Amino acid sequence: MSNIYQFDAQLNNGETVSFAQWQQQVLLVVNTASACGFTPQYQGLEKLQQQFGEQGFSVLAFPCNQFGKQEKGNDEEVKNFCDLNFNISFPLFKKVDVNGAEALPMYRWLKQQKGGVLGSRIKWNFTKFLLNSKGEVVKRYAPTTKPEQIAGDIEKLLS
């Protein structure tokens, strides 16, 4: 598979969506958690969404409980947490696995495209993948990379 558009996933409300609906957009795919030291990055992710959303950009957030059990809530609780604390406007998906046998197929593909410190495994919450408007992975960012540090890369892809 050469791009993300062949995949689908379930939104937080249970609706299955195809990534084809984001064709021609620059995407930032992030595995998130509500009780992590990096959770305040939700604020920066929303800022990127506000800054670039109308130019053809979207954050796609995938809650994950595989790292330190830091996303314990059910899908409704995760959504309520994000709405209450960060008022996010970008798509929030159902909780997924990003590593192991049960990993979401789209995440297996992302990791094949851009390995990280642990090879093809995701190291921790808030690992980020930047995709160009052709649905190709162009960069992978560590959890410690703050969303505002990615703004310049997004701008380049949008221009």
Contacts of 15 (CB under 8 A, 6+ apart): none
Tell whether the torsion through CA atoms of 81, 73, 144 and 56 is positive or negative.
Answer: negative
The residue from 27, 28, 30, 36 that is catalytic is 36
Could you identify the residue written with the tokens 């984001």? 22
- The answer to whether residue 82 is catalytic is no
Choose among 97, 37, 94: nearest CA to 61: 94
- For 39, the token pair is 């959770």
> Annotated catalytic sites, by residue?
36
